[in-house]
């Protein structure tokens, strides 16, 4: 009965339109102020504050105070995983129906942050490349890095060691709501995202989870992961080059 009551409470919190919009904004992985979240949700700051107090109380959101501002973020990777799973379920259309997409929708489907890892068209492409080259093994239960994967990712600049007290899953698949296939999550997925941003392969878009692929990223994805990125056409197609030569950029970049 207690578990059922807790489930109802969480469902009710996430089910509110304003709170769901705030949580979706925070899934970009960045900490946002109450004012920014109020703007996203289209509510007043006082109303946003009430919503955020409830989310913090349920541990769905964490808050850090810096000077006079309060910065909010997703409470934990477990919460992020729950929200992404809900998004995947919500994306199921039965029967399928035509829904016109905006340029912003297409940008999110092409590349975006899913909490702290890369999702969308390119996120799935990276995961597929790593698995096809034998660098990682993914299944419904989890993921594992092979010896060749440790070598490639280590030279790429991915931190494969995690904090000794970390309870986070090391490597796991995450079902992509737009592609309906897996991208890479967990500690390893987060490190790949961090390194790609550090190298300037992707740029964050303002006020959205979308990631913009740069010219350096187009080259880097091909050289390091063997992902050949096609021009942004209507089909947004990509292809994995199984014969790609692994070249690792300097870690000081």
Q: What's the rounded Cα separation, in Å, for the pair 35 and 41?
A: 10
Q: What's the rounded Cα separation, in Å, for the pair 71 and 89?
A: 29
Average predicted confidence (pLDDT) for the chain: 83
Q: What's the rounded Cα separation, in Å, for the pair 118 and 108?
A: 11
Q: Which one has a higher pLDDT value, 28 or 204?
A: 204
Q: How far is CA 106 from CA 13, 100, 233, in A?
A: 28, 10, 11
pLDDT, tens digit, for every residue of 188-229?
Answer: 999 999 999 999 999 988 778 899 999 999 999 999 998 888
pLDDT, tens digit, for every residue of 59-104?
Answer: 999 999 888 889 999 988 888 888 888 877 776 665 555 555 667 7
Is cis: bond before 95, omega within 30 of 0? Answer: yes
Are 132 and 240 in contact by the 8 Å Cβ rule? The answer is: yes
Q: What is the predicted pLDDT for the residue at 9?
A: 86
Q: Any idea what the Cα angle at residue 182 is, between residues 213 and 250, rounded to 5°?
A: 40
pLDDT at 165 over 80: no
Q: Any idea what the Cα angle at residue 192 is, between residues 121 and 102, rounded to 5°?
A: 25
Q: What is the predicted pLDDT for the residue at 252?
A: 42
Compute the average pLDDT of residues 105-118: 88
Percent of residues, the chain, with pLDDT higher than 90: 46
Q: What is the predicted pLDDT for the residue at 200?
A: 96
Residue 157, SS3? coil
């Amino acid at each position: 009965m207690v578990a059922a009551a807790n489930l109802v409470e969480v469902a009710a919190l996430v089910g509110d339109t304003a709170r769901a919009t705030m949580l979706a904004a925070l899934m970009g992985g960045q900490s946002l102020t109450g004012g920014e979240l109020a703007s996203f949700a289209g509510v007043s700051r006082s109303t946003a504050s009430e919503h955020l107090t409830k989310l913090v109380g349920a541990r769905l959101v964490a808050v850090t105070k810096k000077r006079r501002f309060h910065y909010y973020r997703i409470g934990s990777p477990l919460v992020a995983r729950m929200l992404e799973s809900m998004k995947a379920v919500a994306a199921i259309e039965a029967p399928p129906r035509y829904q016109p997409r905006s340029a912003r929708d297409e940008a999110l489907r092409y590349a975006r942050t899913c909490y702290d890892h890369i999702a969308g068209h390119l996120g799935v492409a990276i995961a597929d490349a790593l698995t096809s080259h034998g660098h990682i093994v993914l299944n419904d239960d989890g993921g594992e890095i092979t010896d060749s994967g440790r070598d490639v990712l280590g030279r790429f600049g991915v931190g494969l060691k995690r904090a000794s007290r970390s309870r986070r899953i090391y490597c796991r698949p995450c079902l992509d709501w737009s592609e309906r296939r897996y991208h890479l999550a967990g500690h390893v997925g987060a490190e790949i995202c961090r390194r790609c941003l550090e190298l300037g392969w992707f740029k964050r878009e303002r006020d959205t989870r979308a990631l913009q692929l740069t010219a350096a990223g187009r080259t880097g994805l091909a050289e390091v992961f063997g992902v050949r990125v096609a021009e942004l056409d209507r089909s947004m197609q990509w292809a994995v080059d199984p014969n790609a030569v692994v070249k690792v950029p300097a870690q000081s970049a």
